Amino acid sequence: MSGKIDRRNFLKIMGLGGAGTALGGCDLPSTVTLEEGKEEVVSYLMPEEYVIPGVGVWYASTCAQCAAGCGIHGRVREGRVLKLEGNPDSSMNHGKICMMGQSGVQAHYNPDRIKTPMLREGGNLVAVSWEKAVGAIQEKLSAANGDQVAWFTGTLSGHQAALVSNHLEALGSRKHYIHEPINASVWQAVNKDMLGEAMPRLRLDKAQMILSFGADFLGTWISPVHFSGEYAKFRKQKRRGLLVTIEPKMSLTGANSDLWIPAIPGTEGVIALGIAHQLVKNHSKDMSSLPASVQGLINKYDAATTAKIAGIDEKRIQRIAELLVERSPSLVLAGAPVEGQAKGYASVAAVMLLNQLLGNIGQTIESQGSFPFNQLKAKTGGTSDLFSFVETAKNKQLSVVFFYGTNPKFTAPKAMEMDSALNDVPFKVAISMFMDETSMAADVVLPAASYLEDWGTHVAAYQPQQTAISMQQPLMEKLYAETRGFGDIVLDLLKVAKKDVYSAFADYYAYLKNAHAALPAEYKEAGMTDGDAWSAALQKGLVNVATGSMSLPVKPVSFGDPAPADSGGKFAYHFVPSARLGMWDGRHANLPWIQEAPDQITKVVWDSWAEIHPLTAQKLGIKNGSIINVESEHGTAKVQAVLIKAIHPDVIAIPMGQGHEEYGRYAKGRGANPLKLLNPVKEETTGELAMYATRVNASPTSQKEVVVRLGASDTQAGRRFVVTVPVEQYQRTEGA
Amino acid sequence: MSLENLLGNWSQYRKGHEEGGFHDYKHLWGMAIDLDICIGCNACATACYAENNLAVVGKERFEKGQAMHWLRLERYWDQNELDHPAQGASFLPMMCQQCDAATCEPVCPVAATYHTPDGLNAQVYNRCIGSRYCSNNCPYRNRYFNFYSYYEDSWPEPLNMQLNPDLTVRDKGVMEKCTFCVQRIRVAKDNAKMENRPVADGEAMTACAQACPTNAIVFGDYMDKDSQVAKLWKKHQVKLRLTKQNKENPELRGYRIFEELNVDPSVMYLERVREEV
Amino acid sequence: MYNEKDINEQIAWAKINADVLRSMENPRKGYWLAVLICVLMLICAAFAEYIQYTTGMGPANLNNPHMWGMYISTFVFWIGMSHSGTLLSAILHIIHADWRKPIYRFAEAMTTFSLMTAGLFPIIHLGRVWNMYWVLPYVSDRGHWPNFRSPLVWDAFAISTYLSASMLFLFIGMIPDLAICRDNAKGWRKKLYTVLSLGWMGTDRQWRNFRKTYLLMACFLIPLAVSVHSIVSADFAMSIMPGWHVTTFPPYFVAGALYSGCAAIITLFVLLRYFFRFEEYMTTPIMEKTCKLTFAIAMVWTYLNLVEFCSVWYGHDIYNKEVLIAKATGPYAWVFWIMIFCGSVVPFTLAVQKLRRHMPTMFVVSLLLNLSMFFERWMIVAPTLSMSHDPHQWDIMYASVVQWAIVFGSFGWFGLLFLVFVKIFPSVSMYEVKEMVFHRRRHLVNEEAAARFHRRKDDSQTTTGEPGLEGA
């Protein structure tokens, strides 16, 4: 059998089943021919003779299921990728990946993948050839000028980010909208102002105590797998680390804390200032370097005032301050509930102020150091670009927009009028693996290869102790011949826009290989050829990067009073569009494993639900399983109520992820999308969407259904299943 | 003839029945799960779906209690007298405990579930006739029955290409359960055998232990005294073949669930720790 | 108060033959209607089984904790029904309770047919029915044997042994009657009875051999009957599940079995008496005796229930106690209380002579008793599954339409077998009724002779030459 084998034959051989595969396997080429007559790409690193039928071989790559950028190993057997595991060489995830990473194969093999390019003709999307689709795009691009072209993406990094930047630059546009509904944008903004670095390194393993204001670092915050590993170290210190969580609805992190305190979203900043007050007044922490306005705020929030606003016991605030002093160094974090307010910046700043007062900076908060390749750095985003996109689009200032890795039609609140904004963009190109809501609205849909079929490099925004560029390589032949890698698509656009530079590269692979060869000499072992170094990088799955050492200069930041102002009017309850590890922002709703995996806290599967405290439910006449209407100023969601004590009584939470109108058989028409209910409130300083600032009412309907969930009993019924022992006992036996 | 075989090996056969399985183990695969650092993230359960070709049954069948999760992550609330669970949730990864005196084994009418010389409680899918007695007699309720044929519903093309060829897709009418990823153990043992060396600790690794981001699940060979799992059992003074542990230091965290039933589970849990604030 | 005889000892033997043979002829419209209903019920079950066979056990609503459901409880129910025949024919035969004679035949038929019904359930409930023969210890080249430690294998042995033994017992007991049928039949029936009566001529030697064989079979069957239900109880008692792992289960099951069997006899007694006009054979005093027997068994059953409750209550095993409390207060409590009411309170009607002589009342009561027994089996199977050691897997399950259809159909199957039986075989033992009449008459004669003797002693004027047996 020749090395030139197309996908159809490739699959046919595999389709022969057991014996056929075993026999044919000897001849199976492990090479991927990207283009007839062009260079043959060794995609599996191993020469052909190493491919033994029946023996799985592991290849390194990078996970793209969220923006954390964990290194993965994929098990490949008989030309199919079967299972993903963490790359043990990656200091990000040390051989571990989360449930979303595990489910990556289901995105890759998803039955609802887009198989051909599509073009809107007479109102409908019809399958067309690549030539025709690209031709239509080029036609529109040539008619548009400068800022009329935009890219709208999720987090991008590595060479993909560089190519997109270059494409925009070549066209003379500055419009790159980056949108991630689950983000840490406000926190990053505060860090930028306070520490000079948006994403400092967090040393959970060195912290004696972590106080988390809604930062779900075990579940959905920045880099959950990395932080989980660090969390284990944090707990296994000589003196077991102490975790205290303050948040409106119990997150995975909250579920693992020694003390979980429910708080009304928006009061976290006040609580932080209340603790700061204690630190200054009772524990002689120095606040003289702080701006006068901040000193004023600290003075204002004594225990009684704080307790009144936040509804938390005074003693608790004093005790937390005491513990923070006692357990030094500590680490204080702020997550989505703190950020998602009109005064989110002030709240986060108040929280980060605690680190400053406690002297954690430089101890548990370190600098990442300077990353030498500026173009490859992660371009992170939040929700502020949703506002700017809608505004620009409505002013008819956009004529061509490329969408990739994000689904704004699904994630934008209804009140933002994203639908009409999209209508105002005359030509929309969606590069996607699936027909999600945004792709359905596009004029051209380009079928993207899955991340397991594609080349790439990734530089995670958050870098662990060892900074690295993570390599992404195809783990198998493309499932569908008509799909193309994202890098290849952008490169093809650049070949037109900037012909002189990019026409030299046959494809994205060649571009990447060339880029790797251009790395400085210290990135290659002595005596290695470029080719060997490239193979070594792929084999390892990452290229370690030496960062320049930097210290964190603590700058005084002044901020306003974070106390919530509005009363909510006729809407009585705070609304929390909570994030769950697994479903994420809804991008994984089409993966059956994710749908069938129970939510970590409520254990509900396959649906949306509203979490309500039993006391509140009793007041509203809602029972467990009642179908209720959750109504905000901008819409109503009909969901099932799940009564749970792990939520503040004034809060109603609906997890993000469900409520898709499109997105394949597993996601479509299931549950409700809480993001649609949100008020389009802007965070005052950063312009982010204040996601936790919406108020709702809930009312029962006459319907009631069984809550479909894992597990019949919430209690152990006297069994010795999970035994909890006091920390003193643990310290005696396993401690210092 | 098998009758000759039966008569010829009668004493051995009887011995096996009297004593219940093997006792000269070469390996005895065991586990230790630290509930203090188990964060309940579900990575283990999803890894199990990926490794073991577990069927996704959908909402309706999940509601009926026909789900196929070999490893379920149980979540309990302990402080019910309070308005809020101030110490968070209690998570418990619950998979087949691979009991050494497994109650499922003697009741199977066709001996489809039996004890391997590796100390595993094996399920022979081909032999199973689906009487479901084993599941009824499992105090952990960790055996899952194929109430339907799932190969079409659960893996529409091309999702079926993900299926692990190292083990079967079970058809309707067959009982199944966690195997401690016996196919991965097999690979490790084969590799060791080919290289003429003993299986190294950490070489055989279940999918759940591999995936656990906090390393709360430790898997290994209990017979290998230097393995991490054996050391943990020793450290926590938990021994096999006891219905009640008599530890020198009763404060050590190790315990086994339902060991008082004399099922002799191979999974040791370590108690969850909480600090009173 | 009521001082009737078990049977009128003056019935002519020819009339007995004629009455019984009449019952086997000329099926009326009602009979065909009954057959039709039974066939329809059976079709329901067949359809449900087809669904289950092709799609798996899922449609039955079985689930993770409830791996067994109504199939197994119905299985136990039918096994229980089968005990009545043995009780009446074998046990009462050995202790010479001759009032059993007019009714034992149909009771015995009931034994066989309910076993034939019961045996279907373990098969229907298998996930892979097509491999059911794997539980049998056949010699295979691969050296596969069933697991002899499993109570389910014992079940297979016990049931098949009991079924073959009770069929044999039924058949042997019928031989003299079949000969009568042969002598009175024409056409295909003649051929059938000729073969089945095995050349019975009624010779002295044949009678002697027959008696011995019959007695031997009776002796053999009694321990079998006790063992079969003990073994069925072992399905539960041998497990470690709370509520199942109970030492008193074997006697409890046997008592329950006899109870439901007796109740079923009362039901069929009333039906046969009414439909076949067997008032002369199935008389009120026999009914009364059956009722008394049933009442005694009901009290034994109630006692054993109490024993179980008390031993669990004072045993302080929390899992067992939980299940017990859940039985009385949990989701299946209504089943439990109906069972207790119908099983322990309703039988007191049997103690009231006026009521037990009233056939319609007894018909209803007997049905209630069997309802209790049906529920009892559900209460054995379901609560333990619904809440065992692991609270995470607690669940409530009610049988689906498919399960109900198969259970429903099993009554059709049983009914059909019975309906076929009563038209092909004599449902009242002719020769034994004749025996009974003979014995009673001789008894009467003896009594009168004794009375005469006394009278003669008192009054020398008494005449002699009263008609005795010779006059019959």
Dig out the tokens for A138 from the structure: 């080029």
pLDDT for res B117: 86
pLDDT in tens, B36-49: 999 999 999 999 99
Rounded mean pLDDT, C187-197: 90
pLDDT in tens, A461-494: 999 988 999 999 999 889 999 999 999 999 999 9
Using DSSP's 3-state secondary structure scheme, residue B213 falls into coil
A713 interaction partners in chain C (CB closer than 8 Å): 391-392, 394
- Please give the order of strands across the beta sheet that includes A542-544: A456-458, A468-472, A542-544
Closest residue on chain B to C395 (Cα): B65
- What are the residues whose beta carbons fall under 8 Å from the beta carbon of B159, sequence distance 6 or more? A106, A109, A110, A111, A592
Of B41, B89, B216, the CB nearest to A581: B41
pLDDT for res B210: 94
Contact, A482 vs A116, CB < 8 A? yes
A603 touches chain B (CB under 8 A): yes
| Confidence grade of residue B26 (pLDDT, cut at 50, 70, 90) | confident
The answer to the question of residue B10 being in a domain is no
Tally of domains in chain B: 1
pLDDT for res B24: 74
Q: What domains appear along chain C, each with residue ranges and CATH number? A: 25-457 (1.20.1630.10)
Contact, A646 vs A255, CB < 8 A? yes
Dig out the tokens for A639 from the structure: 């969901």
pLDDT for res B17: 52
**Contact flag A719-C391 (C-beta cutoff 8 Å):** yes
- The CA distance from C435 to A137, in Å, is 106
Contact, B127 vs B110, CB < 8 A? yes
- The CA distance from A152 to A155, in Å, is 10
Residue A328 backbone zone (phi > 0: left; psi -120 to 50: alpha; other: beta): beta
Dig out the tokens for B46 from the structure: 């999803």
pLDDT for res B19: 55
| Antiparallel, parallel or unpaired: β A365-366 and A124-127 | unpaired
Query: A661 vs A115, A429, A438, B172, CA distance in Å?
Result: 20, 19, 10, 33
B212 touches chain A (CB under 8 A): yes
- The CA distance from A247 to A261, in Å, is 7
Distance of residue B226 Cα from the nearest chain C Cα, in angstroms: 33
pLDDT in tens, A544-561: 888 887 788 888 888 888
- For residue A656, pLDDT beyond 60: yes
C391 touches chain A (CB under 8 A): yes
Rounded mean pLDDT, A533-538: 89
State which amino acid sits at residue C414: F
Chain A interface, mutation test: which of B83, B84, B219, most A Cβ atoms within 10 Å?
A: B84
Rounded mean pLDDT, C1-20: 74
DSSP for residue A513: H
B239 touches chain C (CB under 8 A): no
DSSP for residue A709: B
Dig out the tokens for B19 from the structure: 């004593």
**Contact flag C392-A718 (C-beta cutoff 8 Å):** no
Q: Who has greater pLDDT, A507 or C454?
A: A507
pLDDT in tens, A87-130: 999 999 999 999 999 999 999 999 999 999 999 998 899 999 99
Q: What percent of chain A has pLDDT over 90?
A: 65
- ipTM associated with this complex: 0.92
- For residue A577, pLDDT beyond 90: yes
**Contact flag A228-B272 (C-beta cutoff 8 Å):** no
- The CA distance from A221 to A227, in Å, is 9
B89 interaction partners in chain A (CB closer than 8 Å): 250, 255-256, 601, 646
Question: In three state form, how does the secondary structure of chain C look?
Answer: CCCCCCCCCCCCHHHHHHHHHHHCCCCCHHHHHHHHHHHHHHHHHHHHHHHHHHHCCHHHCCCCCCCCCHHHHHHHHHHHHCHHHHHHHHHHHHCCCHHHCCCHHHHHHHHHHHHHHHCHHHHHCCCCHHHHHHHCCCCCCCCCCCCCCCHHHHHHHHHHHHHHHHHHHHHHHHHHHHHHHHHHCCHHHHHHHHHHCCCCCCCHHHHHHHHHHHHHHHHHHHHHHHHHHHHHHHHHHCCCCCCCCCCCHHHHHHHHHHHHHHHHHHHHHHHHHHHCCCCCCCCHHHHHHHHHHHHHHHHHHHHHHHHHHHHHHHHCCHHHHHHHHHHHHCCCHHHHHHHHHHHHHHHHHHHCHHHHCCHHHHHHHHHHHHHHHHHHHHHHHHHHHHCCCCHHHCCCCCCCHHHHHHHHHHHHHHHHHHHHHHHHCCCCCHHHHHHHHHHHHHHHHHHHHHHHHHHHHHCCCCCCCCCCHHHC
Query: In angstroms, how far is CA B68 from the centroid of its own chain?
Result: 14
Dig out the tokens for A219 from the structure: 């579940």
pLDDT in tens, A326-353: 998 999 999 999 999 989 999 999 999 9
Which is nearest to A588 in space by CA: A639, A637, A670, A658?
A658
pTM of the model: 0.89
Closest residue on chain B to C61 (Cα): B64
- For residue A17, pLDDT beyond 90: no
- The CA distance from A469 to C16, in Å, is 102
Distance of residue A71 Cα from the nearest chain B Cα, in angstroms: 13
User: Cα angle vertex B256, ends B254, B258, to 5°?
Assistant: 150
pLDDT for res A51: 63
Average pLDDT, chain A: 88
**Contact flag B128-C128 (C-beta cutoff 8 Å):** yes
Rounded mean pLDDT, B205-232: 93
Q: Which residue is associated with the tokens 């022969």? A: A16
| Backbone phi and psi for residue B60, each to the nearest 5 degrees, phi listed first | -65, -45
- The CA distance from A645 to B84, in Å, is 5
Rounded mean pLDDT, A145-155: 91
Q: Which chains touch C (3 or more CB pairs under 8 A)?
A: A, B
Query: C250 vs C76, C118, C253, C301, CA distance in Å?
Result: 12, 18, 5, 12
Rounded mean pLDDT, C29-57: 93
pLDDT in tens, C298-326: 999 999 999 999 988 898 888 899 899 99
Of A111, A228, A581, the CB nearest to B214: A228
Closest residue on chain B to A243 (Cα): B275
Chain C interface, mutation test: which of B75, B131, B146, most C Cβ atoms within 10 Å?
A: B131
Q: Which residue is associated with the tokens 């309707």? A: B172
The burial of A470, by beta-carbon neighbours within 10 Å (0-12 exposed, 13-18 middle, 19 or more buried), is given as buried
pLDDT in tens, A18-74: 333 333 333 334 444 444 444 444 444 544 555 667 788 889 999 999 999 999 999
**Residue A635 β-bridge partners:** A632
Average pLDDT, chain C: 87
Q: Which chains touch B (3 or more CB pairs under 8 A)?
A: A, C
pLDDT for res A50: 56
pLDDT for res A546: 86
The answer to the question of residue B17 being in a domain is no
Peptide bond into C285 cis (omega under 30): no
Distance of residue A322 Cα from the nearest chain C Cα, in angstroms: 39
pLDDT for res A28: 38
**Contact flag C141-B2 (C-beta cutoff 8 Å):** yes
B76 touches chain A (CB under 8 A): yes
Q: Which residue is associated with the tokens 């009028």? A: A417
pLDDT in tens, B94-105: 999 999 888 998
- What are the residues whose beta carbons fall under 8 Å from the beta carbon of C135, sequence distance 6 or more? B109, B110, B129, C146, C152, C153, C156
The answer to the question of residue B1 being in a domain is no
User: Cα angle vertex B29, ends B26, B34, to 5°?
Assistant: 150
pLDDT for res B16: 52
B172 interaction partners in chain C (CB closer than 8 Å): 55-58, 127-128
The answer to the question of residue B115 being in a domain is yes
| Confidence grade of residue A325 (pLDDT, cut at 50, 70, 90) | very high
The answer to the question of residue B152 being in a domain is yes
Of C322, C389, C395, the CB nearest to A712: C395
- The CA distance from A589 to A584, in Å, is 8
- The CA distance from B269 to B35, in Å, is 7
State the residue range of the domain holding B46. 22-80+87-270
- For residue B7, pLDDT beyond 60: yes
- The CA distance from A175 to B176, in Å, is 55
The answer to the question of residue B16 being in a domain is no
Touching A: B residues 7-26, CB under 8 Å:
none
Contact, A63 vs A72, CB < 8 A? yes
DSSP for residue A377: S
| Confidence grade of residue B14 (pLDDT, cut at 50, 70, 90) | low
CATH number of the domain within which B148 lies: 3.30.70.20
Touching C: A residues 690-719, CB under 8 Å:
711-713, 715-719
A238 touches chain B (CB under 8 A): no
The answer to the question of residue B11 being in a domain is no
pLDDT in tens, C410-436: 999 999 998 899 888 888 888 888 888
The answer to the question of residue B110 being in a domain is yes
- What are the residues whose beta carbons fall under 8 Å from the beta carbon of B19, sequence distance 6 or more? none
pLDDT for res B57: 93
Of A105, A255, A711, the CB nearest to B74: A711
DSSP for residue A714: S
- What are the residues whose beta carbons fall under 8 Å from the beta carbon of A624, sequence distance 6 or more? A617, A641, A642, A643, A707
- For residue A366, pLDDT beyond 50: yes
Distance of residue A258 Cα from the nearest chain B Cα, in angstroms: 5
Max CA pair span of chain C: 91
**Contact flag B145-C67 (C-beta cutoff 8 Å):** yes
- The CA distance from A579 to C392, in Å, is 25
Q: What domains appear along chain A, each with residue ranges and CATH number? A: 118-178+375-455+480-520 (3.40.50.740), 185-366 (3.40.228.10), 573-704 (2.40.40.20)
Rounded mean pLDDT, A215-240: 93
Q: Who has greater pLDDT, A13 or A310?
A: A310
Dig out the tokens for A527 from the structure: 């005596």
**Contact flag C241-B137 (C-beta cutoff 8 Å):** yes
B86 interaction partners in chain A (CB closer than 8 Å): 259-261
pLDDT for res B48: 95
Rounded mean pLDDT, C276-283: 81
B89 touches chain C (CB under 8 A): no
C397 interaction partners in chain B (CB closer than 8 Å): 65
Which is nearest to A729 in space by CA: C80, C193, B36, B73?
B36
B/e letters for C353-370, b = 16+ CB within 10 Å, e = fewer, are eeebbbbebbbebbbbbb
C51 interaction partners in chain B (CB closer than 8 Å): none
Of C318, C390, C392, the CB nearest to A718: C318
pLDDT for res C458: 67
Packed helices C318-329 and C359-386: angle between N→C axes, nearest 10 degrees: 140
B127 touches chain C (CB under 8 A): yes
| Confidence grade of residue C103 (pLDDT, cut at 50, 70, 90) | confident
Dig out the tokens for A347 from the structure: 């709240």
B144 interaction partners in chain C (CB closer than 8 Å): 64
Q: Who has greater pLDDT, A1 or B55?
A: B55
Using DSSP's 3-state secondary structure scheme, residue A62 falls into strand
Query: B34 vs B38, B91, B92, B214, CA distance in Å?
Result: 6, 10, 10, 10
Least confident of B14-23, B220-229, C208-217, C293-302: B14-23
Dig out the tokens for A274 from the structure: 């209340």
Which is nearest to A209 in space by CA: A320, A327, A360?
A327
- For residue B78, pLDDT beyond 90: no
Distance of residue C392 Cα from the nearest chain A Cα, in angstroms: 5
**Contact flag A712-C393 (C-beta cutoff 8 Å):** yes
Q: What percent of chain A has pLDDT over 70?
A: 92
- For residue A12, pLDDT beyond 60: no
pLDDT for res A275: 92
Touching A: B residues 82-111, CB under 8 Å:
82-92
Neighbours of B81 (CB within 10 A): 5
Using DSSP's 3-state secondary structure scheme, residue A201 falls into strand
Contact, B73 vs B91, CB < 8 A? yes
DSSP for residue B271: -
- For residue B256, pLDDT beyond 80: yes
Dig out the tokens for A595 from the structure: 């749908």
Distance of residue B21 Cα from the nearest chain A Cα, in angstroms: 27
